[in-house]
Structure 1
Amino acid sequence: MRQPQTRIVNDETMYCFWNRVDNPGEIWNSENVLMYFLPHLTIQILLIVATTRLMFWILRPLNQPHFVAELLAGFVLNIKVPYLNETIFEELLPTKGLVGFETISYLGIVYYVFVTGLEMNLDSVLRARKKASTIAIVGTLIPMILGCWVYSMIQYTSSEKNEFNTISSYLLWALATSVTSFPVVAHILSDLKILYTGLGRVALTSATINDFINWAMFVLCIPILSSGEMGIMPVILTIVFILLCYFVIRPPLNKILVQKTDENEWDLYQLSYVIIGVIFCAMVTEFIGTHSAVGALVFGLILPRGKFTEMLIEQSDDIGSGYLAPLFFASLGLRSKIDQIVQRGNFIRDIVFLLMIISTKIVSTIVATRFYGMPVRDSMALGMLMNTKGILSLIILNIGFDRELLGQEAFSMMVVSIFIMTIIVAPIINAMYKPRARYEQNKLRTIENLKSDSEIRIMVCVHNARQAIGIVNILEACNGINVSTLRVFAVQLVEMKGRSTALLLAHLEQQPTSLQTEPQPFDQSSDANNYTSNHITNVFEEYASNNANTLVENLLAMSSYSTIHKDIFNLALEKQASLVLLPFHKQNTAEGTLEIFETSYKDLNQNVMYEAPCSVGIFVDRGHHSSLFKTNMSIIMIFIGGPDDREALAIAWRMSKHHRTSLTMVRLLLCGKVAEVDSSANNEGQGLLGAVLDSGKQRELDEEYVGSFRLKAVNNEDTITYAEREVHTSDDIPQVLNELDRGGFDLYILGHGKGRNSLVLSNLLDWADCPELGVIGDMLASNSFGSNSSILVVQQYGFGGVEFKKSCCSRKANSNNDDLESLFPKVE
């Protein structure tokens, strides 16, 4: 509309028009997004993420999953503090600005559920045994029935009983009560280092089945609960969409993705198309009337597992799990009016209802496990693990609150119960299964204390097939006694990066558990991890097939290398192993020298030696992979003294009974200054007299054991010889070793050196490049020494582990490398 106006300027008349445009579109009359909503959204995201990181740091000693810290952050920001909320939080989290905040948080839901789909393994659900399936089904149905009863009690005593007393409200509450979160259970088990126990494997399998059932019920029930009879059509369309994705889209999509992954053609720009696919599938299911989370879950389920999944999660997990997902969990905390529950003053009523909500899942799991004779402690622990909640239960509550199927009181009470029942699981189970207390019960689990006809249990830890092939020679040599059984637990060590739960479950399904009577074959997949697992498994199975008195069980430990030694401890305890064999962190090259293969292996070996629950052996493989059935093996055992050397002699003694093995035992006699006692090797307060007494006791034990060996073995076996060498100075040690190495032995067996109490040897150990091998082992493994023999270094359990001063030793070794090399002449 135009309204003409006249103005006179410099005696001239000018006509001006004022233009006004009326547009019925409301978007054009809204506020400037860049001026208000975007700055507030940025501040809100930073506030939520910072608070979440702080809560996670506080809860980290309790082994809590991330979503607990994220939910707690919402509770903390929602606390009504006088003056503080009015001046700070109401400025940072205004009601008007939370609209955009919650909109962005839905992207967090979509991504989080997508990753959950990547972590779920449908094959494990289809192959599940009767025990896990029964626990999962009973753990779903009984909590639903009990949940409806608890909700009726809450409604009966609530002021909202007439408004939300509907069938949809009851069913929605029952669904939220029956949920078990598989990713959260996996996280707790992994952090507590009980993932590879019988309890851990049953819990993980049952949680996977329970999670799958819950998602299926979510797809079928939510549209009907929201729309009544009109919700049948969304259910049908959703089922059609799922079938279309799985049978039509999945085969060609997987072929393309696997091919591009094998050829390493992915970059960040191309990975963005995957995220677009997630959003598109979420949009489709939202459009047909189900929920956007269903589309994200389906897209995650149809993508290929293995290398592609790991790469995708590693590249996108920071933005998804680090920034978007916390927004959703925190928004639920902000929605929960905990202060209103507290102000009513019905503490006893609320506590009773919270206990009833928490106990439904635990009671149902105990009922199911009692039919299988599971101990009460394991049943309680399994019930608490199955009681952990996650993203699905919170999505259900969020839908019920948004669509006015649940009231504020019931919503807040359930969110609080989910928080409580998840946060208490890890501390209680950790207290129930005190690992350190269990270590103290097995101080005599050594090879030395086993009878000659007793079954020997050896746990072998390997990272790749080459290490497995080399270490099989040690097992073959230990298998020389036909009257006793050798039980081998072959553990593949896999580093877990990011959220590799799908790969984790796939491996666990292939391990023999209480649900399986024999090892299952590995799934023949094209990815590198499965290929390596197949190769390692085949190596040990072939070895077992050629030995009538040998039993092999293939296992897997997947964790970060900084904590994987705890998994090794728990497996060794569960399997009652007497010896743990570990590969050296250096690998033999074509030139015959040892080069560092993986530095993290060294720290892992030292962590195991520090507090292992049984004896430990570190194997330095020089690449002699010929089988003992085809070639004789010549072994030399160097004995100085102490418990480690006695354990090494016990192993060599057992190997000497193999019909294709010859053993030479050389005892180094310390004389003069070399025999001086190191008083600092004992506990403080004992002084020099304590060191002398301890040395005398060790010498007495050494003489007794060596005397028994000479009487029973040397005098009765033609393939066993005994010799002695005197050592007067530290310079005599490398000279004696050079002389012995001319014998061309295939394997050295040594003790690490704990309990020798020799001042000279203790000083030499401070300069060692690889202190985990001890003084003699470090010399023999040096490239300057020039030996072609493999080395087995043994540490006996029961006398305390070795505490390695990594920074000091490494600095000294590097700065004095020339001095160390000067001890040995170069071998051409």
Structure 2
Amino acid sequence: MEMLDNYTSRNKVYGCYDTAVSNANDIWQSDSVLTFYLPNFAAQIAFMLFANRCLYYLFRPFNQPRFVVEILVGFMLSPEVFGRTQFFQALAPVKLVVTNETISYVGLVYYVFLAGLDMNLETITSARKKATTIAIVATVIPMIMGGAMYTLLQTMYTGPPEYLSRYNTNKAYMFWTLIYSVTGFPIVTQILADLKLLYTGLGRAALTVAMIIDFYNWVMFALLIPFALNEKVAMYSVISTVSFVLVCFIVIQPHLVQLVVRKTNQNEWDNCQLFYVVMGAYLFAFVTDFLGTHPVVGALVYGIMLPRGKFSNLLIEKTEDFASVYLAPLFFASCGVRLRIFSVIESQGLALVVIVLVLSCIPKVLSTVIATQLFGMPVHDGVAIGLLMNTKEILPLIMLIVAWDKEILSVESYSIIIMSVFLMTLLVPIIINGIYKPRQLYKQNKLRTIQNLKVEAEVKILACVHNPRQATGMINILEASNAIKLSRLRIFALHLVEITGNTAALLAAHINTQSGSQSLTDSEQDLENITITFKDYAEQNENISVDILAAVSTYSTIHEDIHIVAREKQATLILLPFHKQSNIEGILETMNEAFKDINQSVMRDAPCSVAIFVDRGLGSLFKVNLRLLMVFFGGPDDREALALAWRMSKHEGIQLSVVRVNMLGEAAQVDLSPQAESRELFCAVMDCEKQREFDDEYVSSFRLKAVNNKDSISYSEKEVHSGEDIPLMMEELDKVGYDLYILGQGTGRNSLMLSDLLKWSDCPELGVIGDMVASNNFGSCSSLLVVQQYGFGGMVFENTTQNPCQLPKNDCESEDVYVEVEL
């Protein structure tokens, strides 16, 4: 009844009612559960799911987290919006409030338990000084400024005098300061992942700082909440709770981890056994509640105790919907129902509310700017991290509900803080997107292509892999590219992981993957094996360095992560695996059709040159000599492929054969199908002639500098008169038995014959010739590397003001080209 009395005394909207209803049931002195409570509760759940889903898709283009939507749905149920309508009064009758609150706390306890699973204590304890310092400063300064803001609010209050004496207490200051120090780690991870900033320097710094702050906040909550719940015995509650936590981690956790890991490795978990694990969260919640601390503290401790990896992912996958989708929204909605922002504006004035809301955004930003300046970070990075640290989630809402039920904070304070939490979380993705994802000018220069890379320049290759087998195959391509000893090879190995289940848990796992005695998930095991493969290769070569990264995202948007990493690392070449792999019989079989879509999306707007590797069991360069064949039809992609083959030919274990194909007669017809209506025949012919001049110039340079000086390099020419000649020519070349084909994708050739053949290709990302060689019908046993040059293949030039006949500048020219792209 305490909460219902609060509704009556504070808002004069709901009236108290008698919970003892006379009926024939001697055991339960209330209405029948099956005829009243259950149907109404089911109706509320259905409405919550429907409203959340609709608003989520409405706000999704703005990268808004579910937290914002769930608070908004609750506000819709408040008396200030639709709560007084007959529909909503029938949907959420007053006598169902206690039932909903009780069941929502069941979801809340489990939601916090999942939050404990997200926390990685090893990452927190091993964090560098910079992240820890920023986290401490971003916690302490907001606490101090939060107390100052509450003093300002009390000073500007215009209500009755008894208000100041009732709410101007130490408990009120404690809650106000704690709430402003909070950062929601799961929300930060979701925002960074949605904005594709997770793998930037800003993203990694913000994620680590958010995890540390979130841990500090929970510790302070556990230590200080007893003073709000029962001040007389608060010290005893704190001591007993700390003792209980120490017993859990020193005595219980080693045996619990051993049991869980053993059963996970032996795949012994079933639904019944997982149920006992879930009940452990409520047992720990009962213990901390009995000790005088909030029940969620026990659930959090239990979640932190359990081992990460395969078991935690299994548990999240099977039970996350129970808490996050069905029950937790009830708790978030209950916070929104209590919101009385319009009444506060009417009684206190809009100026007070606006002032407090604006000042609420300052503490985190100011503190992070100060802390980041100590480490020489740019100011805009400090501002961005501060904005991200302003995001809130479950913890401040728990504090506010406690303060509401205990009448520690007034309706005005509660409403203003809820609005601050809501608006800060709402605006952060929009502001960060505006700062870090604007329309920018990106410089197209020689460092983004192999063709114009200086001999002594460092080669940066972004090697994308889905599994360890692909990593093993790519090592051979990377070793072949490491032919020039004067040039250092920098490899960024990017493990592509499809996101499933809980976002924060997966992202946290890939920040700091630990093995030890804990069972790893499949993706973590793959990442560990990929790391071993690339690290072992780097240890055998002095002029090679390797960085291991992981991109965790949906397959529909993971190409954006690849683009961002390539820009961040200033890669010269993106190396992608083909979506098919060779079986024992040497036949290419599709692994995942989504890999094909990823490759095409990467090539469409890549910020550098791209190569797709079709692996048919390419032999190791450490053991055998390889024979390479580069078939040159012409165009920018073929010039880039020749540049890469030329670079590989300098390796001692490689023999390179270059075959230039001269298209004559019918095969020489120019493609007149315009990409734009303004393109005319004269433009197409001039384009073709210009490209031919570039081809002749580059091939002549290759023959002069490479063929005459290297016995391991051979050059020949073939003639093609029609489309039927190409398969015959390729079959003749394949009889030699090359280990690797290096081909250009083919954009920019302006050949009518090749354009017509491309329409029948199963894999257009490989081009006409690449699709032919990769086909199982072709019968080749050779691996294949298809290259697309940056600036011609997939890059879309948005500057359309140039003359239709004006060609884009070739990479081999000395001037820089600026391309405007939408990030």
Compute the TM-score of the two structures, normalised by the length of structure 1: 0.90
**Does 1:314 find its partner at 2:308?**
no
Give 2:234's match in structure 1, choosing from 231, 235, 242: 231
1:590 pairs with one of 573, 580, 584: 584
Aligned length: 770
Letter in 1 for 2:610: V
Instruction: Tell me by how many angstroms 1:240 deviates.
Output: 2.3
Q: Is the 8 A contact 1:714 1:720 kept in 2?
A: yes
Query: What is aligned with 2:343?
Result: 340
Query: Could you tell me which residue of structure 1 aligns to residue 818 of structure 2?
Result: none
What secondary structure is seen at the aligned counterpart in 2 of 1:468?
Answer: helix
CA distance in 2, matches of 1:442, 1:194: 24
> 1:441: how far off?
5.5
Tell me, in whole angstroms, the C-alpha distance in 1 between the residues paired with 2:444 and 2:110.
46
Decide whether aligned partners of structure 1 residues 28 and 706 sit closer, same or farther in structure 2, where only a CA change above 3 A counts. closer
Structure 2 match to 1:100: 99
Structure 1 217/80 Cα, relative in aligned 2: closer, same or farther at 3 Å?
closer
Whether contact under 8 Å (2:656, 2:712) holds in the other structure is yes
Query: In 2, distance between residues paired with 1:244 and 1:622?
Result: 56
Alignment map for 1:404-419 (pairs within 5 Å): 404-419=407-422
State how 1:415-434 maps to structure 2 within 5 Å. Answer: 415-434=418-437
Q: For residues 185-196 of structure 1, what are the structure 2 equivalents within 5 Å? A: 185-196=188-199
- Aligned partners of 2:451 and 2:639 also within 8 Å: yes
Partners of 2:116 and 2:299 within 8 A in 1 = yes
Distance between the aligned counterparts of 2:661 and 2:336, measured in 1? 69
Aligned counterparts of 2:118 and 2:401: Cα–Cα separation in 1: 23
Per-residue deviation at 1:802? 8.1
Cα distance between partner residues in 1 of 2:441 and 2:297: 44
Structure 1 SS opposite 2:552: strand
- Contact conserved, 1:366 with 1:379, CA < 8 A, in 2? yes
Q: Which residue does the alignment assign to 2:628?
A: 635
Distance in 1 separating the partners of 2:141 and 2:727: 71
What are the Cα deviations for residues 637-665 of structure 1, in whole angstroms up to 9, with x where unaligned?
A: 01101111111011001111112211110
Tell me the amino acid that sits aligned with residue 109 of structure 1.
L
Match of 1:447 among 447, 450, 453: 450
Cα distance per residue 1:142-161 (max 9 Å; x no partner):
10010001011112222332
Larger Rg: 1
State the distance in 2 between where 1:549 and 1:169 align: 61
SS in 2 for 1:360: helix
CA shift in 2, pair 1:459/1:405, >3 Å? same
Corresponding residue for residue 244 of structure 1: 247
Question: Does the Cα contact within 8 Å between 1:523 and 1:530 map onto a contact in 2?
Answer: no
1:482 to 466, 481, 485: 485
Deviations along 1:346-391, whole A, 9 cap, x unmatched? Answer: 1122111111112111111111111011101111101101111110
Moved more, 327-336 or 259-268: 259-268
Q: 1:442 to 1:293 in 2, by over 3 A?
A: farther
- Asked if the contact 1:682–1:691 (Cα under 8 Å) also holds between the matched residues in 2, the reply is no
- In 2, Cα distance between the equivalents of 1:110 and 1:795? 53
Relative distance call for 1:473 and 1:108 in structure 2 (3 A) is same
User: Structure 1 residues 613, 154: closer, same or farther in 2, change over 3 A?
Assistant: same
SS in 1 for 2:33: coil
Q: 1:769 offset after TM fit, Å? A: 1.4
Write out per-residue CA displacement over residues 432-467 of structure 1, whole angstroms, 9 at most, x where no aligned residue.
112652556668611112122221111111122211
Contact conserved, 1:207 with 1:386, CA < 8 A, in 2?
yes
Residue in 2 that maps onto 1:751: 744
Q: Contact (CA 8 Å) 2:619, 2:626: kept in 1 or not?
A: no
Equivalence for 1:47:
47
4+ residue runs over 4 A deviation:
22-28, 438-444, 521-525
Matched, 1:182 2:181: no
Match of 1:654 among 647, 652, 655: 647
Whether 1:796 aligns to 2:789 is yes
Worse overlay, 249-258 or 774-783: 249-258
Deviation of 1:553 (Å): 1.5
Equivalence map 1:100-499=2 (5 Å): 100-158=99-157, 159=159, 160-344=163-347, 346-434=349-437, 437=440, 439=442, 445-499=448-502
- 2:753 corresponds, among 760, 776, 783, to 760
Deviates more, 1:72-81 or 1:275-284: 72-81
User: Contact 2:627–2:738 at 8 Å: present in 1 too?
Assistant: yes
Structure 2 partner of 1:555: 549
Over the matched positions of the two proteins, sequence identity in percent amounts to 53
Is 1:785 the counterpart of 2:784? The answer is: no
Shift in Å, 1:330: 0.9
- In structure 1, C-alpha distance between the alignment counterparts of 2:571 and 2:428, rounded to whole Å: 29
Which residue identity lines up with residue 121 of structure 1 in the other structure? N
Stretch of structure 1 that moved more, 267-276 or 109-118: 267-276
**Shift of residue 580, structure 1, vs aligned partner:** 0.4
Q: Which residue in the other structure is 1:617 paired with?
A: 611
The residue type paired with residue 611 of structure 1 is: D
Cα separation, 2, equivalents of 1:23 and 1:54: 41
One-letter amino acid of the structure 1 residue matched with residue 615 of structure 2? D
* Cα separation, 1, equivalents of 2:599 and 2:759: 18
Q: 1:372 to 1:234 in 2, by over 3 A?
A: same
The alignment partner of 1:772 has SS state of helix
Which residue number corresponds to residue 672 of structure 1? 665
Superposition deviation, residue 36 in structure 1: 2.3
- SS at structure 2 position matched to 1:658: coil
Measure the CA separation in 1 of the matches of 2:661 and 2:71. Answer: 64
Question: Are the equivalent residues in 1 in contact too, given 2:509–2:524 (CA < 8 A)?
Answer: no
Q: Does the 8 Å contact 1:435/1:570 carry over to 2?
A: no
The CA distance in 1 between the partners of 2:795 and 2:378, in whole Å, is 36
Counterpart position of 1:68:
68
**Pair 1:81–1:165, CA change in 2 (3 A):** closer
Partner of 1:818: none
- 3-state SS in 2 of match to 1:78: coil
Q: Deviations over 1:671-728 (max 9, x none)?
A: 2222222222533321333222211211111111111111111122111111111111
CA distance in 1, matches of 2:759, 2:461: 30
The alignment partner of 1:29 has SS state of coil
Q: Distance in 2 between matches of 1:68 and 1:733?
A: 59
Name the CA shift for 1:435/1:81 in 2 (closer, same or farther; >3 Å): closer
- State the TM-score, normalizing by the size of structure 2: 0.90
- Residue 448 of structure 2 aligns to a residue whose secondary structure is coil
Q: Secondary structure at the match of 1:272?
A: helix
Q: Is the 8 A contact 2:599 2:765 kept in 1?
A: yes
Contact 1:444 1:798 in 2 (8 A): no
Contact kept? 1:443, 1:798, Cα under 8 Å: no
- For residues 342 and 27 of structure 2, the distance between their equivalents in structure 1, rounded to whole angstroms, comes to 37
Letter in 2 for 1:395: I
Alpha-carbon distance in structure 1 between the residues aligned to 2:659 and 2:24: 99
| SS of residue paired to 1:788 | coil
Aligned match of 1:540:
534
Higher deviation after alignment, 273-282 or 578-587: 273-282
Deviations 1:270-324 (A, max 9, x none): 3222222222222222222211111111111111111111111111122221111
Q: Is the 8 A contact 2:23 2:30 kept in 1?
A: no
Deviation at 1:531, TM superposition (A): 3.2
- Alpha-carbon contact 2:757-2:768 (below 8 Å) kept: yes
- Alignment check: 8 A CA contact 1:637 1:663 kept: yes
Q: Is the 8 A contact 1:453 1:483 kept in 2?
A: yes
| Cα pair 1:44 1:101 within 8 Å, conserved | no
The question of whether the paired residues in 1 share the 8 Å contact of 2:449 and 2:789 is answered with yes
**Residue 712 (str. 1) matches residue 711 (str. 2):** no
TM-superposed CA distance for 1:39, in Å, is 2.1
Structure 1 residues 457 and 29, CA gap change in structure 2 (3 angstroms):
closer
Unaligned segments of structure 1, at least 5 residues:
1-21, 511-520, 804-828
Seen in structure 2, the aligned counterparts of structure 1 residues 25 and 780 have a Cα distance that, compared at 3 Å, is: closer
Unaligned runs of 5+ in 2: 1-21, 797-823
Q: What is the rounded CA distance, in whole Å, between the counterparts of 1:681 and 1:748 in structure 2?
A: 31
Which region of structure 1 is more displaced relative to structure 2, 123-132 or 454-463? 454-463
